[in-house]
Chain A
């Protein structure tokens, strides 16, 4: 498994998914499944902790846009936090911040999500 996802529920609505490893076309399903579980559990404010994500291809970025679309339809939002190196660069190239809150730290993202 090149991608693993840890789940931490912060409140009824806010959950942090922490990604470790590399996200590509094959491995991004792991995030998709974890997100399905927390969204079905009532999460509307989803924070992705990318601090230990070392690579993210366009399939991974596409999944972030999909999650943004699903959460927006629920009246919620997606937040991404602590992206590093090539992952941060990929997020910047696709202009993700025009749709999604992009935060330097997980704490910043959680407080934005908890307002």
Chain B
């Protein structure tokens, strides 16, 4: 006899070929119902403040849940399954290690205790749902809309379509990023590539605001990415961006950037700084130093004299890249967020053992809160953590039983 869980997974995968994105939650709920389970899919919004339930036939859609003050949010934040009331389990839903939301699993007979839920299998189903959501999102607008709480600007729409997932890990490292304000961002961007023993990173900040800044950022990002995929090294990647920006903006429009490359087998770091705030090297939760070398002109202005800088990282080190919208964020009274506050918060969150994407989520919200109602620049953070334990911390694993 076929394992009913195998049959449920088969039913979902068979349906996925022709599935409309708005039917995904119902399809999973129908398959789960044959296993004696009720499911509800919750997606995180772009601002990473609340989880929003996807609608499914035959039930009312519940109100959003705050990440900072709910069990669902705790499961999302920690990337760990958490037991709720009524025999319920909140199970994190990721695509790889990119946090998409949570799935709520409950026995369809409320008298049954949650101890009866096969948690490992629920986590497997949540993993499948995460991959399906990532794949189905581009089929329609439904899943995009489900994660947005405000209208988005054309510049932000352009940018989000260019960016890779916010978090990606391999067995030895985590890369994670966060951008604010997510519905109006225009000039900031990032990219990364994890291949073999190398992780490559770039963070970008285009001058100005709105679509012009978004286009400049997009041109620079695409040029760097194309050169990288064409097998060119860091200096060539930067030069490719110079050429592309000069062609697009003959009068001159710059994009500041840091390009970096870490060897996971040796810890050798190479980097270039094109007129951007210096990368921060953090060790054991403390700032070791700002990395001051590898300077060249901002992207868009050819600088033939460049020398790629080198640095040795130790296992467990973090490399934190940020745009000046983070440190320059200020209250109406003019008090800057500043580097010290940024480093303090990274230290606190590191001590709390939070996954890298959760640390960045909290940092980004601290910047937004610091600004209050004051108008802000784009603020982006990108972290590379060279640690197998940190990588495991981004993977859903077991429950907190």
Evaluate contact between A95 and B297: CB separation under 8 angstroms: yes
CB < 8 Å neighbour of B208 from A62, A66, A93: A62
CA of A61 to CA of B209, assembled, Å: 14
CB < 8 Å neighbour of B256 from A25, A94, A98, A99: A94
Evaluate contact between B305 and A66: CB separation under 8 angstroms: no
**Interface residues of B, count at CB 8 A:** 23
Closest to A62 in B: B207
Distance to closest chain B CB from A70 (angstroms) = 8
B83 at interface, CB cutoff 8 A: no
Evaluate contact between B207 and A59: CB separation under 8 angstroms: yes
B251 at interface, CB cutoff 8 A: yes
Binary flags per residue of B266-304, CB closer than 8 Å to A gives 1, else 0 = 000000011111000000000000000001111011010
Total A-B Cβ pairs within 8 A: 52
Evaluate contact between B208 and A65: CB separation under 8 angstroms: no
Evaluate contact between A95 and B209: CB separation under 8 angstroms: no
CA of A61 to CA of B276, assembled, Å: 13
Residues of B within 8 A of A58 (CB): 205, 207-208, 254, 256
Residues of A within 8 A of B251 (CB): 66, 69
Evaluate contact between A99 and B297: CB separation under 8 angstroms: yes
The A interface, classified by DSSP as helix, strand, loop or mixed, is helix
Evaluate contact between B207 and A95: CB separation under 8 angstroms: no
Residues of A within 8 A of B254 (CB): 58, 61-62, 65, 94
CA of A93 to CA of B276, assembled, Å: 6
Known: A62-B253, A65-B254, A66-B251. A98 touches B295 (CB 8 A): yes
Closest to B295 in A: A95
B151 at interface, CB cutoff 8 A: no
Evaluate contact between B303 and A98: CB separation under 8 angstroms: yes
Closest to B246 in A: A69
CA of A25 to CA of B277, assembled, Å: 20
Residues of A within 8 A of B118 (CB): none
Binary flags per residue of A60-85, CB closer than 8 Å to B gives 1, else 0 = 01100110010000000000000000
CB < 8 Å neighbour of A94 from B209, B252, B253, B298: B298
Residues of B within 8 A of A99 (CB): 297, 301, 303
CA of A59 to CA of B208, assembled, Å: 6
CB < 8 Å neighbour of B275 from A59, A69, A95: A95
Distance to closest chain A CB from B150 (angstroms) = 23
CB < 8 Å neighbour of B277 from A65, A69, A93, A98: A93
Closest to A91 in B: B275
CA of A94 to CA of B297, assembled, Å: 7
Binding site for B on A (CB under 8 A): 25, 58-59, 61-62, 65-66, 69, 93-95, 98-99
- Listed by A's residue number, 22 A-B pairs whose Cβ atoms lie within 8 Å are A25-B209, A58-B205, A58-B207, A58-B256, A59-B207, A61-B207, A62-B208, A62-B253, A65-B252, A65-B298, A65-B300, A66-B252, A93-B275, A93-B276, A94-B256, A94-B297, A94-B298, A95-B296, A98-B296, A98-B297, A98-B305, A99-B303
Binding site for A on B (CB under 8 A): 205, 207-209, 251-254, 256, 273-277, 295-298, 300-301, 303, 305, 324
Taking A58-B205, A98-B295 as known contacts, 18 extra A-B pairs with beta carbons closer than 8 A to each other, sorted by chain A number, are: A58-B256, A59-B207, A61-B254, A62-B208, A65-B301, A69-B252, A69-B301, A93-B277, A93-B324, A94-B254, A94-B256, A94-B298, A95-B296, A98-B296, A98-B297, A98-B303, A98-B305, A99-B297
